[in-house]
Amino acid sequence: MEQRLVDEDLARVMEPVATANGLSNRYYTDRQCFEAEKERVFFDNWAAIGFAKDVPENGDAMPLTFLGQPLVVIRGRDGKLRVFQNICRHRGMILVREPGRIRGAIRCPYHSWCYDLDGALKATPHVGGPGHNTHAAIDRDALGLIEVRSHVWRDVVFVNISGDAPPFEEAHEKMLARWREFDRPLLHSGADSSFKLEVATNWKLAVENYCESYHLPWVHPGLNSYSRLEDHYHIEEPGAFSGQGTLVYRQLRGDENETFADAPGLGEKWDTAAEYIALYPNVLFGVHRDHSFAIILEPRDNASTVEHVEIYYHDESSTGPERAALRAKNTAQWRVVFEEDIFVVEGMQEGRNAVHFDGGRFSPAMDSPTHMFHHWIATQLAR
Amino acid sequence: MPLPGPAQPLDRLNGAVIAAHEAGDGMRLAGLYGEAADRFAEDGDIASACFFYTQAYIFALEQGAPEAERYAAVLRRHGRL
Ligand code: FES
Ligand SMILES: [Fe+2]
């Protein structure tokens, strides 16, 4: 009975936008739904867990917990970034506790089995008895760290924990093609371009809100003074991403009228266009001629999400000290915009305690990118 | 696990080892264990020497210290690695 109800709910979400309901309350409040989502939405797809800039040098390691999974991101001696389960193959001890540089090997703090940066098991001290460091039963070659499939795009580290998703380039072929012009190194200047927001909401509401421009005149009146609703267009790629674009992007100017330098070689469209895309499941990307950003949504629980915001520039002249003031202004401006959204995503979460709510409706004209996201979630959950 | 071998050279190093453990000073630990191992080796106590060479090797390996190779070589010579 319970199972059928869930299926009927999802079937309503998958109707055309004009007749569809949104996902019902349980997908925002119920523990079992959260667990199902963890497996089918996050582990089975390419989920974003962190930023490559946070492991800049060979040997850098960054432990993190994503949806309960202990992971460690390591840049190897070959410069390649890898993600491993952050556990020892001996008794499953957590290996790396603090971010930092690994000089030689990763030594498990329990019985000191040692692993190389590429995950290979290098040493098993006393495993054959005191002073005997081998044992016939312990095949080192078979006991390296367990690697998780990973891929870096636009500095975001994605993982496919199940190992079953198509390769990233295939799964997100359309996304990669859409922004190919921006395919160049993203430059990050550090703390002045980085912040996080802890929000009492379900991560999906942050995606839903990001996808649509409908709320701009009401929630971001400042943005809207130069960016009118009719200057926005929908971006929709079923099964992969959705969002919005603007045709009237204006560069930020400093006190001396200075601007950030453009990414070289951009087409004319980008003189005034900017695009804001939610790449399913949990990254919100933005691109402009002179800067980009990425927001990773870290679901802590049904009603708790951390938004990790990182702003990037496209030219070295933008990340030096002479642009520090303009960068501060840009970061502050984005912070205002993202903070303006907090009361709505928290308010919608609170609203999902209302027992008679039916998931709501969508404006066929304005909400189709949001519905596209719902449709994708429903498709993942109904598989 | 009880430490093997005579306690005497260990006693002298004991305090230093504990302090280095507490300070998380892997380089110093590798050096101290290596020293202990060398002394046992000089006394012909191979079992104890290999225990301490193992300790020294692991800390040197963790630190990426070149001495790791020397300790590994001794252990290998005794069929311990
Ligand atoms: S659990 Fe890691 S060495 Fe024993
Ligand atoms: Fe918004």
> What confidence score (pLDDT) does residue A2 get?
46
The tokens for A320 are: 């030096």
- Residue whose C-alpha is closest to residue A101's, from A69, A75, A122: A75
Nearest by CB to residue A114, choosing from B53, B61, B75, is: B61
Nearest by CB to residue B51, choosing from A104, A105, A131, is: A131
Together in a domain, A340 and A218? yes
User: Residue A145 falls within a domain, yes or no?
Assistant: yes
Together in a domain, A158 and A63? yes
Q: Categorise residue B52: left if φ over 0, alpha if ψ from -120 to 50, beta otherwise.
A: alpha
> What confidence score (pLDDT) does residue A1 get?
38
CATH code assigned at A102 = 2.102.10.10
Together in a domain, A131 and A242? no
A308/A194 Cα distance (integer angstroms) = 8
Decide if A117 contacts A124 (C-beta within 8 A). no
Angle separating helix axes A368-382 and A2-13, nearest 10 degrees: 150
Together in a domain, A312 and A208? yes
Together in a domain, A135 and A189? no
Locate the chain B residue with the closest alpha carbon to A101: B63
Domain that holds residue A141: 48-169
Number of domains in chain A: 2
Do residue A123 and residue B58 have CB atoms under 8 angstroms apart? Answer: yes
Q: Calculate the CA dihedral of residues B28, B29, B34, B39 and round it to 10 degrees.
A: 100
Hey, is A25 helix, strand or coil?
coil
Together in a domain, A148 and A194? no
* pTM of the shown model: 0.94
Together in a domain, A149 and A211? no
Task: Give the DSSP H or E segment for A81.
Answer: strand A81-85
Mutation to probe ligand 1, out of A72, A87, A89, A93 (largest number of atoms < 8 A from CB): A93
ipTM metric? 0.90
Query: Consecutive 10-residue runs of chain A (383 residues): their mean pLDDT?
Result: 64 97 97 96 98 98 98 98 98 98 98 98 98 98 98 98 98 98 96 98 98 92 73 95 95 96 95 97 98 98 98 97 97 97 98 97 97 98 91
Give the DSSP letter string of A107-138.
Answer: E-TTT--EE-TTS-EEE-TTBTBTT----TT-
Decide if A50 contacts A296 (C-beta within 8 A). yes
Together in a domain, A111 and A260? no
Ligand 1 binding pocket includes A55 (Cβ within 6 Å)? no
Decide if A213 contacts A229 (C-beta within 8 A). yes
Decide if A8 contacts A381 (C-beta within 8 A). no
Together in a domain, A366 and A252? yes
Atom of ligand 1 nearest to the CA of A93: 1
- Residue whose C-alpha is closest to residue A294's, from A282, A307, A311: A311
Decide if A118 contacts A102 (C-beta within 8 A). no
User: Residue A175 falls within a domain, yes or no?
Assistant: no
Q: Which of A169, A189, A221 is the last residue of a domain?
A: A169
- Residue whose C-alpha is closest to residue A110's, from A98, A122, A92: A92
Atom 3 (ligand 1): residue with closest C-alpha? Answer: A111
Ligand 1 binding pocket includes A110 (Cβ within 6 Å)? yes
Q: Which of A124, A141, A169 is the last residue of a domain?
A: A169
The residue extents of the domains of chain B are 27-81
Decide if A303 contacts A264 (C-beta within 8 A). no
Contacts of A131 in chain B (CB under 8 A): 4, 47-51, 53-54, 80
A236/A369 Cα distance (integer angstroms) = 6
Do residue B60 and residue A104 have CB atoms under 8 angstroms apart? Answer: yes
Together in a domain, A288 and A233? yes
Task: Give the DSSP H or E segment for A28.
Answer: helix A26-29
How many CB atoms sit inside 10 A of residue A365's CB? 10
> What confidence score (pLDDT) does residue B2 get?
46
Atom of ligand 1 nearest to the CA of A108: 2
Together in a domain, A160 and A248? no
Q: How far is the CA of A296 from the centre of ligand 2 (A)?
A: 15
User: Residue A18 falls within a domain, yes or no?
Assistant: no
Hey, is A259 helix, strand or coil?
coil
State the amino acid at position A307 in one-letter form: E
A192/A171 Cα distance (integer angstroms) = 33
Q: Which of A136, A169, A202 is the last residue of a domain?
A: A169
CATH code assigned at A242 = 3.90.380.10
> What confidence score (pLDDT) does residue B8 get?
57
Together in a domain, A239 and A131? no
Locate the chain B residue with the closest alpha carbon to A112: B58
Query: Consecutive 10-residue runs of chain B (81 residues): their mean pLDDT?
Result: 52 87 96 96 97 98 98 98 94
